[in-house]
């Protein structure tokens, strides 16, 4: 496991917070990919490089590796990454993990064919994510929104995009899929509390 996150201090609070969360989490089942990836997996390339950014326990990374993509996974929490490595090992999947504060060290330009981000929002990273894709690359993004129908996810608006905000943040991409239902209509049904976007780098 590489350690870019160790070189900087601004992420130390976040790292400690998330390490505590993952130390407390139960071992249990294999983490699952986000809906944006599972439901749109037919868009994935047959080969290439993929990144699960702010991967946590790495449900997206495991899914990408199983699809045959050369997969990296970045997170600020070494505890989460250690658990991901153990699970990838049990499943015989190759996932290269890196403890990395992505706010301080965004992914390098033109490095990935696929980037997946789920349940993480740092508005300042949006342009770097677009830059990190190779031409023809895909961004799969899903995160909690400000317009929720339940208490799921964070309450701090800093982490919750406004209606259509993901479309604005990733306006440089060609939007392939977008879904955000807010509180419209029959709120007990549908895809609620989150927005999802798949965008193509032209």
Ligand X SMILES: C[S@@+](CC[C@H](N)C(=O)[O-])C[C@H]1O[C@@H](n2cnc3c(N)ncnc32)[C@H](O)[C@@H]1O
Q: Which residues bind ligand X (CB under 6 A)?
A: 11, 14, 18, 34, 54-56, 59, 74-77, 80, 101-103, 118-120
Q: Cβ 101 to ligand X, closest distance in Å? A: 4
Q: What is the DSSP string of 77-115?
A: -HHHHHHHHHHHHHHT--EEEEE--TTTSPPPTT-EEEE
Listed residue (115, 131, 121) closest to 194, CA to CA: 121
Q: Which helix (H) or strand (E) holds 135?
A: strand 133-144
Name the residue nearer to ligand X (CB basis): 13 or 188. 13
C-beta of 55 vs 166, nearer to ligand X: 55
> Apex CA 170: angle with CA 169 and CA 172, to 5°?
120
Q: Which is nearer to ligand X, 18 or 140 (CB)?
A: 18
Task: State in angstroms the smallest separation of the CB of 162 from ligand X.
Answer: 19
Nearest to ligand X of 76, 138 (CB atom)? 76
Nearer to ligand X, 83 or 201 (CB): 83
Residue with the shortest CB distance to ligand X? 56
- Rounded to the nearest whole angstrom, what is the least distance from the CB of residue 171 to ligand X in the complex? 23
- Phi, psi at 181, each rounded to 5°: -105, -10
Smallest gap from Cβ 42 to ligand X, in A, equals: 21
Query: In the bound complex, what is the minimum distance in angstroms from residue 110's beta carbon to ligand X?
Result: 20
Q: What is the CA radius of gyration of the chain?
A: 16
Point out which residues pair with 71 in neighbouring strands.
50, 95
């Amino acid at each position: 496991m590489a350690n870019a996150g160790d070189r900087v201090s601004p992420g130390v609070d976040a790292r400690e917070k998330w390490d505590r969360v993952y130390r407390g989490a139960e071992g249990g089942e294999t983490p699952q990919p986000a809906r944006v990836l599972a439901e749109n997996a037919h868009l994935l390339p047959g080969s290439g490089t993929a990144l699960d950014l702010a991967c946590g326990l790495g449900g997206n990374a495991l899914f990408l590796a199983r699809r045959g993509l050369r997969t990296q996974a970045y997170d600020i929490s070494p505890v989460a990454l250690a658990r991901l490595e153990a699970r990838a090992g049990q499943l015989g999947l190759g996932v290269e993990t890196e403890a990395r504060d992505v706010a301080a060290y965004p992914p390098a330009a033109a490095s990935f064919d696929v980037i997946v981000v789920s349940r993480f929002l740092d508005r300042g990273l949006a342009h770097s994510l677009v830059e990190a894709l190779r031409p023809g690359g895909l961004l799969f993004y899903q995160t909690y929104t400000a317009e929720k129908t339940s208490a799921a996810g964070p309450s701090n608006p800093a982490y919750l995009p406004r209606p259509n905000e993901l479309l604005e943040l990733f306006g440089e991409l060609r939007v392939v899929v977008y879904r955000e239902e807010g509180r419209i209509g029959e709120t007990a049904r549908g895809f609620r509390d989150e927005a999802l976007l798949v965008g193509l780098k032209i």
